[in-house]
Amino acid sequence: MTNTKAIFTDHEFAHLGEGEIGYLRRMRSQDLADSFPSLPPMAPNLDLWALFGATGEPIVLSDLRANALASARDHELHTVMLH
């Protein structure tokens, strides 16, 4: 058995990429509402592009991918696509 030491603490790992990386994902409005109950009410069955921060908080919701990407640039975030 190998004794390994963690490279990051749990707190460091949870905040890895914060302020630097944004995750872009296409989602349905109902899935967003279920995952983030504090979001304002949305019409059901909308296809939206969601930009999330590295810690998973939603930053921007848009019906256009280009708007979500523009917001990532405005926030100086490198984007990664989530499937």
DSSP state of 73: H
d(CA 71, CA 33) in angstroms, rounded, equals 21
> Model pTM?
0.74
Which residues have C-beta within 8 Å of that of residue 61, sequence separation ≥ 6? Answer: 32, 39, 42, 48, 49, 50, 51, 68
Sheet holding 78-81, edge to edge: 58-62, 47-53, 21-28, 78-81
Q: Give the rounded distance of the alpha carbon of 19 from its chain centre.
A: 11
Give the per-residue pLDDT at 17: 61
Give the per-residue pLDDT at 3: 62
> Could you read off the pLDDT tens digit of each residue along the chain, which spans 83 residues?
566 666 867 676 566 666 678 899 999 999 999 999 999 999 989 999 999 988 888 999 999 999 999 999 998 988 887 66
Give the per-residue pLDDT at 19: 64
Give the per-residue pLDDT at 72: 92
